[in-house]
């Protein structure tokens, strides 16, 4: 019957006479059976979300392992930054810091090393995310995977590398610079550094998902990080920042990482700064609400948990933003 239908339609298309019997046969063959239902599937995708997650995580881990250039480059630079900046501040010991320049120099070390690391992790994450975005568009249109497992796989694959690189950087810095020796101070330093560089990595992935090209994403992100570096509280004291730049000060992730590092390192130092009026202690001058402190009372030890929460919120915002951008924006070109 199918062959007769096909031959009949071919005759008609070529201009030949189509027999009425073949027409009726084709109509009967194409007509659905009484009581039949349209073809439907129980779900949009062939496998469950959990199975998609397992496949994508495994694939992403293999991709990271088989492309070592990305991880070796940022890991090597993280160690180089720690070695370079750390070797400059081997002396004096923190307990001997009794001058304004000594304390400010130690704070500047925390600021500049963290900022440099964030820029490196930001710029290095863009190329690999751009390659994965092309594959994502192809698999999205073919209904192979949903968006949520795809984004989750990036975080799972990134986590062990971020953890190892942050441990290497902070451990080397801690050994070379000879910070205040206390396990809780190192834990604070590592946690804040890890959250900040992880946030910069996810920020890069968000911009790649939102912008049409890697060049535009890098230009926008670099400009934003540069402005935030000026408004993080080190170059310009928080109480000296103009009111119209205060929103950028509030959303700058470097501000929260830097504040948390400074106050957790200096909060219990009772060494007096001998070249400051009144010889205030390091604790009071760098980590208190005192209006005459270096930060104008804006950086204090009681804010440390708010800094951690802010950095977590920074990461979560860009994770959710990446999901939304991949769901609503499509830069597919033919």
Instruction: Give the Cβ contact number of residue 215 at 10 Å.
Output: 10
pLDDT tens sequence for the chain (334 residues): 444 444 444 444 444 445 666 666 666 666 766 766 766 656 666 677 788 888 888 988 998 888 788 888 888 888 998 998 888 776 666 666 778 888 888 888 899 999 999 999 999 999 888 888 888 888 877 778 788 888 888 888 899 999 999 999 999 988 888 777 778 899 999 999 999 999 999 999 999 999 988 889 999 999 999 998 898 888 888 888 888 899 999 999 999 999 999 999 888 888 888 877 888 888 888 888 888 888 888 888 988 999 999 999 999 999 999 999 988 888 876 5
Contact 167/87 with Cβ under 8 angstroms? no
Check whether the bond before 45 is cis (ω within 30° of 0): no
Non-local (6+) Cβ contacts of 105 within 8 A are 89
Per-residue model confidence (pLDDT) at position 154? 85
Per-residue model confidence (pLDDT) at position 136? 84
Residue 113 to residues 50, 106, 116, Cα–Cα distance (Å)? 39, 11, 5
Non-local (6+) Cβ contacts of 268 within 8 A are 180, 283
Per-residue model confidence (pLDDT) at position 44? 66
Nearest residue to 326 (alpha-carbon basis) of 197, 211, 163, 180:
211
Cα-Cα end-to-end distance for the chain: 41
Q: 211 in helix, strand or coil?
A: coil
The Cα 261–Cα 170 span in angstroms is 12
The Cα 217–Cα 226 span in angstroms is 14
Nearest residue to 58 (alpha-carbon basis) of 149, 166, 181, 188:
149
The Cα 9–Cα 18 span in angstroms is 7
The Cα 233–Cα 266 span in angstroms is 16
Residue 72 to residues 85, 262, 266, 268, Cα–Cα distance (Å)? 20, 29, 33, 38
The pTM of the whole model exceeds 0.85? no
On the 0-12 / 13-18 / 19+ scale of CB atoms within 10 A, 325 is buried
Per-residue model confidence (pLDDT) at position 117? 92
List residues bridging with 272 in a β-sheet.
281
- Look up residue 79 and give its two tokens: 């160690």
Per-residue model confidence (pLDDT) at position 275? 79
Tell me how long the chain is.
334
Per-residue model confidence (pLDDT) at position 195? 96
Contact 121/74 with Cβ under 8 angstroms? yes
**Residue-wise DSSP of 253-319:** HHHHHHHHHHHHHHTT---B-TTSTT--BHHHHHHS--TTSTTTT---GGGHHHHHHHHHHHHHHHH
């Amino acid at each position: 019957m199918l062959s007769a239908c096909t031959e009949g339609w071919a005759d008609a298309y070529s201009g030949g006479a189509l027999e009425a019997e073949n027409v009726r046969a084709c109509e009967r063959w194409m007509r659905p059976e009484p009581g039949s239902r349209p073809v439907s599937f129980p779900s949009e995708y062939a496998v469950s979300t959990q199975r998609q997650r397992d496949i994508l995580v495994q694939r992403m881990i293999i991709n990271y392992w088989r492309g070592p250039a990305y991880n070796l480059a940022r890991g090597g630079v993280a160690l180089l930054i720690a070695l370079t900046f750390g070797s400059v501040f081997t002396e004096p010991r923190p307990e001997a810091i009794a001058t304004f320049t000594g304390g400010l120099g130690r704070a500047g070390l925390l600021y500049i090393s963290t900022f440099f690391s964030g820029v490196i992790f930001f710029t290095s994450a863009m190329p690999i995310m751009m390659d994965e975005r092309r594959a994502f568009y192809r698999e999205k249109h073919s209904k192979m995977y949903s968006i949520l497992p795809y984004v989750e796989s990036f975080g799972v694959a990134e986590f062990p590398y971020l953890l190892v690189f942050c441990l290497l950087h902070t451990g080397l810095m801690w050994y070379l610079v000879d910070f205040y020796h206390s396990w809780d101070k190192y834990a604070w330093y590592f946690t804040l550094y890890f959250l900040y560089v992880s946030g910069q990595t996810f920020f890069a992935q968000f911009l790649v998902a939102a912008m049409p090209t890697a060049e535009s994403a890098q230009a926008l992100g670099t400009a934003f990080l540069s402005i935030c570096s000026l408004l993080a509280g080190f170059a310009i004291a928080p109480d000296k920042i103009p009111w119209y730049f205060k929103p950028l000060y509030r959303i700058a992730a470097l501000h929260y990482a830097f504040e948390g590092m400074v106050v957790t390192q200096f909060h219990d130092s009772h060494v007096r700064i001998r070249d400051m009026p009144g010889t205030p202690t390091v604790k009071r001058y760098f980590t208190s609400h005192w209006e005459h402190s270096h930060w104008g009372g804006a950086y204090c030890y009681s804010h440390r948990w708010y800094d951690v929460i802010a950095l977590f919120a920074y990461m979560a915002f860009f994770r959710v933003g990446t999901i939304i951008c991949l769901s609503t924006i499509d830069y597919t070109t033919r």
